[in-house]
Amino acid sequence: MNDGEKASSRLRTAMVLGGARSGKSRYAQRLAERSAAERVYVATAAAGDDEMRRRIALHQAERGAGWRTLETPTQICEAVAAHAAPHRAVLVDCVTLWLANLMFAGADVGGAIDQLAQAAAAARGPLIFVSNEVGMGLVPETALGRDFRDWQGKANQRLAEVCGLVVFVAAGLPIRLKPSAESAYHLS
């Protein structure tokens, strides 16, 4: 494989899916660390209570040095456009919280999902999304819960469509969904 082929097969866009505490964030972090020396973590969580502040602190400690963190609960399209570059990996963690933040803000969720997919397709460097797979459990009891589950499914499908690599993580084990195992896709 020549240098041009290596460059074209390097990670550009990836989506890492999984359930809660599945290991998806840890896996996505390793992808970013292998993709570029400079890394930006786009955090969508808002520290609304002590428990969430502890979770955020734990994630920060697990990342360690070498990461620039942007806290942006709803403006991830702008963060991707501003920071994705060939020498810099951008990790968005997570799409699920971003969707919840948009819904609570009364935003146009469908339009925001389309904008995010467009931003991902236009990214100029390694871009990794972390997202929860929420459609494998019970049907939510409330209309709001069902709406959220539906939007999450639509967001996951839309991002999976534009990302070159899609991985499902269960029990800390990555299962590649896209591209197929037979393809010649390599991580840098």
pLDDT in tens, 155-181: 999 999 999 999 999 999 999 999 965
In the block, tokens 């734990």 appear at 58
pLDDT at 86 > cutoff 50:
yes
Distance in angstroms (rounded) separating the CA atoms of residues 12 and 84: 10
Assess whether 87 carries a catalytic annotation: no
pLDDT surpasses 50 at 93: yes
Write the Ramachandran bin of 100: left for phi over 0, alpha for psi from -120 to 50, otherwise beta: alpha
Q: Which CATH superfamily is domain 13-177 in?
A: P-loop containing nucleotide triphosphate hydrolases (3.40.50.300)
Q: How far apart are CA 179 and CA 73, in angstroms?
A: 30
User: For the packed helices 109-122 and 95-105, what is the interaxial angle rounded to 10 degrees?
Assistant: 140
Percentage of the chain modeled with pLDDT above 90: 68
Domain parsing of the chain, residue ranges: 13-177
> How high is the pLDDT of residue 1?
33
3-state SS of 64-89 is CCCEEEEECCCCHHHHHHHHCECCEE
DSSP bridge partners of 43: 71, 93
**Torsion region of 17: left, alpha or beta (phi above 0 gives left; psi -120 to 50 gives alpha):** beta
Angle separating helix axes 24-35 and 50-63, nearest 10 degrees: 40
pLDDT (tens digit per residue) in 7-43? 334 568 999 999 988 999 999 999 999 988 899 999 9
Query: For residue 147, what pLDDT is reported?
Result: 95
pTM as predicted: 0.87
Residue 57 has pLDDT above 70, yes or no: yes
ω before 94 within 30° of 0 (cis)?
A: yes
Phi, psi of 171, rounded to the nearest 5 degrees: 55, 35
